[in-house]
Amino acid sequence: MTFVQRMIGAAKLDVAVYEEVEADRSATPQALAVVVITAVAAGIGAGAGVRGLIAGTVLGIIGWAIWAVLIYFIGTRWLPEPDTRADIGELLRTLGFASTPGIIRVIGIVPVLSHLASVVAAVWTLVAVVIAVRQALDYKSTARAVGVCLVGWLVQVAAALLLHGAAAGPR
């Protein structure tokens, strides 16, 4: 399957595509490319300019890596199923391809479509991420994959609040 076919399959929420990229160790650069493409599309849609595109892309890559590591530890250490077998590379690949729906954020450049594009991309990507997590962690339960994503999101929010509080300093 080609890179573009994988992206289309990931956007179509095709479980077989997620299984394929999970197993294909050579697909990690492709997953990185998807993350970069979606970050650039989001930046264009937001009218971010060159500096914004660069910053958004770097932050997108960092966020992708952090999310993969976080989901790996939550899914394999805290909430594994009996058949859970995964490594961080598998999560990088599946989560990278799960970001494919974010490409539609590029249509946000049309002001009347900006909000709609963001909402549709967020919901579509969330569904893709749940599928990616379920497949990468070899879960039988979609509910467990949702739970792992929820716990991961809560950990990120708590970390952001702690960092924000530390940056604000004592009052």
Encode pLDDT of 68-94 as tens digits: 999 999 999 999 999 999 999 999 999
- Distance (Å, rounded) from C-alpha 139 to C-alpha 119? 27
Q: Is the pTM of this model over 0.75?
A: yes
Q: 132: how many CB neighbours lie within 10 A of its CB?
A: 32
Assign 159 a pLDDT band (cuts: 50, 70, 90). Answer: confident
Residues 35-57, mean pLDDT to the nearest whole number: 94
| Tally of domains within the chain | 1
Kindly report the average pLDDT of the chain as a whole number. Answer: 95
Assign 168 a pLDDT band (cuts: 50, 70, 90). Answer: confident
Query: In which domain, by residue range, is 147 found?
Result: 3-168
